[in-house]
Amino acid sequence: MTTPPQQPPFQPGGGGYVPPPGQPPYGQPPYGQPQPPYQQPGQPQGQPPFPQYGPGGPQGGQYQQPQPGQPPYGQPPYGQPQPPYQPQPQPGQYPQGQLQCRFCGGVPAVEATVRGHQGFIVLMRFLKLQGPFCKTCGTAATRDLTAKSMWQGWWGIASLIINPITMFLNLGTYSKFKNLPEPAPGAPGRPMDPGKPLFKRPVALGLLLPIVVIALLVTLANLTSEPSAAVGSCVYNKGTAAKPNVKVVDCTASEADYKVVGRIDGTANGDECARFEDSTVSYTDESRSKKYTLCLAPN
């Protein structure tokens, strides 16, 4: 009698193939027999079954096995912690919170106020420019406003006092800019042009204006003032006996009525002229800061 071939057992409930006891599942190698990885035709033995690429993709070359004791690519060495990533500022970007120039955006900058003055005989004008300033813009602003003050700030009585004070204050402000380092490159705006130093500009001659004005005032005062009535000079009374108005004239002039034979400073007492024998008339003046008495005799 012929025995029919044994059919592979089926899983109850209509399932698929179930391997006999001791056999591995379908499609897997027998237990305890590791199979070598699949090798492509023509691929040397010992290399990974599929190419693995390093940085840069296929153009960067195939993956290289790390040396013994070295970490895989892209990982820091073991036991050596890496510092956290710090973003580097791009051109035109500065660390947050740092003071920037108001005019060009450059750094470093400092808070300051540059001043100027203009006099208009009766009226006056105060100029002011506030920061923050970088070194370049601060120098330019100081030179510009101070140059205007040098020749526009003297035209007024009060301006003769205010203008020197204004320029003196700018000296202290300029020292702040002088101690600053040069602005970092990459500012978003264009710095102001400092121009030439002040004493290399024609406006520096404006500093001579107050000297010229004072010299003119002194000269004018000397021309309009009456010559001093000294002993030996002659005078002429343009007023009356009750209200005398004595003027010094040349002794050879026809109106020279009296000659000064004595002068007593610090007193307005005509009786003091008794000490001078030739004195017949006395003239006292106490309208000025210094009072004096003239002892007169007929010329």
Which carries the bigger pLDDT value, residue 9 or residue 188? 188
pLDDT at residue 132 greater than cutoff 60: yes
pLDDT tens digits, one per residue of 2-20: 555 555 554 554 445 566 6
pLDDT band of residue 214 (cuts 50, 70, 90) is confident
Q: What is the pLDDT of residues 45-103, one digit of tens each?
A: 555 554 554 554 444 455 566 676 666 665 655 555 566 655 554 544 555 678 999 99
Q: Work out whether the CA dihedral 113, 145, 164, 123 comes out positive or negative.
A: negative
Question: Each residue of 220-229: pLDDT tens digit?
Answer: 776 655 557 7
The answer to whether residue 115 scores a pLDDT higher than 60 is yes
Instruction: Give the pLDDT of residue 40.
Output: 56
Q: Of 187, 182, 183, give the one whose Cα is nearest residue 92.
A: 187
What is the residue type of 263? R
What lies within 8 Å, CB to CB, of 12 at 6+ separation is: none
Q: Of the ranges 54-63, 135-144, 202-211, 275-284, which is most confident?
A: 135-144
Contact status, residue 104 vs residue 137, Cβ threshold 8 Å: yes
DSSP assignment of 66-132 equals: PPTTPPPTTSPPTT-PPPPP-PPPPTT---TT----TTT--SS-B--EEEEEEEEBTEEEEEEEE--
What's the average model confidence in pLDDT over 31-58? 54
| 234-237: strand order across its sheet | 246-249, 234-237, 258-265, 292-298, 281-285
Please give the pLDDT value at position 20.
65
Angle at 77 between CA 72 and CA 81, to 5 degrees: 130
- Tell whether the model's pLDDT for residue 154 goes beyond 80: yes
Count CA within 13 A, CB hemisphere, residue 264: 17
When pLDDT is cut at 50, 70 and 90, the band that residue 125 belongs to is very high
28 DSSP assignment: S
Residue 260: name the closest of 220, 226, 232, 221 by CA.
232
